[in-house]
Amino acid sequence: MSGVSGVSPEGATAAGPGDGPPPDLTHERLKAYEGRPTAAAGVGKDLVNEPMIRHWCEAVGDTHPAYRGPDAIAPPTMLQAWTMGGLSGHADRSGAYDELSRLLDSAGYTSIVATDCEQEYLRPLRPGDRITFDSVIESVSERKTTKLGTGHFITTRMDIRADGEPAGTHRFRVLKYAPAARPPKTAERPKATERQQATEPSRAAERRTAAEQRMTPEQPTAAEQRMTPERRTPRRPRPVVNRDNAGFWEGVRRHRLLIQRCTGCRTLRFPWLPGCNACGSPEWDTVGASGTGTVFSYVVMHHPPFPAFTAPDQQADGAGPAAADLDTAGPDTAGPGAASPYAVGLIELAEGVRMVSNIVGIPYDKVRIGMPVRLEFLRADEELELPVFRVAEGGEG
């Protein structure tokens, strides 16, 4: 199992010689932390237990029969959950990781982002199992340059045991980095001389326009006016399309919401997976969702406000109500292009599966669990269309 944030050691490049750390922070000094323990003989705060298994399964919508009943096992992906210390933390942690973090902070690598995790499962966990674990700093990479900035990838490895038997391994990787420099939004420019205005009229005009923009920020500069809309408007992150989910995004392009169906046991599943989580069969076909559903749960996003998520969205052709309808409820209208805050819902489709998407066309504080919704497609930019859900007529009451 792995999760990716969009930054990986494989996609990073070696840093150049002109942008280095202090001379005393060598890679050899960082590598000295490899193998140092961050937790030794740690003990899980709770035995593996049925209530936590039930809560987990309900939260993710996993109804597999193996996770309930007298012979229940814990979902394998709960492996790390049994080692977590909660708000009070663990008292048996060593200071090696904090020491490494402080060293990188002092060298200017003050930002951190989790990049991915990997899990290996060696035996099932059952209610009553006592969890113990050891954790070490497995590796510290050479200095790498990514889109976020320059820094070092740190990988920790946790070896987990159940009643003394090896149960699994959990690797967790972060990037400690110095953020890449960004150009100022409105850099001050000296006024042009008369000679410069005569010899460089276009540049002088741009300077005057920049000065006007400082008084009226809503007016774009001359340079910005010459930019294409794609460069002027922040773009949303692109979805990760791979061989396992390419069919879903092809369906979205054709304004169809496709649900996978196992051809072995006929179980529907969403999101798309390479195999059936009920019978294990790798064979599948698809069914088109009717487009109706209800709000099973939701959250309201307040912070941080991402520029790409506050730019106006366009209604996809033939995908439902006009795009202008999204703006009639004022600034609190909950839509992907609305100003933050906005509502993100877990939608239970009529077919029984659930998916995460935006709830549009209604103020965020009016969204309620059980509210009926219907599917429509919004155009985020010239390339990207997204499935979202609008409250069904009469559903607000």
Between 378 and 181, name the one with better pLDDT.
Answer: 378
In this prediction, residue 315 has a pLDDT band, given cuts at 50, 70 and 90, of: low
In this prediction, residue 390 has a pLDDT band, given cuts at 50, 70 and 90, of: very high
Give the pLDDT score at 195.
43
| Each residue's pLDDT tens digit, 358-370 | 998 889 889 999 9
| DSSP string of 138-165, one letter each residue | EEEPPPEE-SSEEEEEEEEEEEEEETTE
Instruction: Flag the least confident range among 71-80, 88-97, 256-265.
Output: 88-97
Give the residue-averaged pLDDT of 386-397.
Answer: 83
Give the pLDDT score at 9.
61
Separation between Cα atoms, residue 77 and residue 175, nearest integer Å: 23
Specify which residues 37 forms β-bridges with.
Answer: 136
For residue 291, with 0-12 CB atoms within 10 Å meaning exposed, 13-18 middle and 19 or more buried, which class applies?
A: middle
In this prediction, residue 287 has a pLDDT band, given cuts at 50, 70 and 90, of: very high
Per the CB < 8 A criterion, the answer to whether 295 and 367 are in contact is yes
Question: How many residues would you count in the chain?
Answer: 397
CA atoms within 13 A on the CB side of 22: 11
In this prediction, residue 216 has a pLDDT band, given cuts at 50, 70 and 90, of: very low
Of 69, 170, 77, give the one whose Cα is nearest residue 127: 69
Between 87 and 246, name the one with better pLDDT.
Answer: 246
| Residue whose token pair is 């169809």 | 256
Per the CB < 8 A criterion, the answer to whether 337 and 326 are in contact is yes
Give the residue-averaged pLDDT of 155-163.
Answer: 96
The CA-atom distances, in angstroms, between 231 and each of 110, 147, 160 are 29, 17, 48
Separation between Cα atoms, residue 312 and residue 136, nearest integer Å: 47
Instruction: Flag the least confident range among 1-5, 45-49, 125-129.
Output: 1-5
pLDDT, mean over the chain: 79
pLDDT surpasses 90 at 125: yes
Helical (H) or strand (E) element with 42: strand 37-43
Per the CB < 8 A criterion, the answer to whether 326 and 377 are in contact is no
pTM over 0.85: no
pLDDT surpasses 50 at 327: no
Separation between Cα atoms, residue 213 and residue 335, nearest integer Å: 29
Give the pLDDT score at 354.
95
Give the pLDDT score at 67.
94
Q: What percent of the chain has pLDDT over 70?
A: 70
| Phi–psi pair at 152, nearest 5 degrees | -130, 135
pLDDT surpasses 90 at 24: no
First to last CA, the chain: 42
Give the pLDDT score at 314.
54
CA atoms within 13 A on the CB side of 322: 4
Of 224, 199, 197, give the one whose Cα is nearest residue 208: 197
Q: How many CB atoms lie within 10 A of CB 61?
A: 14
Give the pLDDT score at 107.
92
Specify which residues 360 forms β-bridges with.
Answer: 390
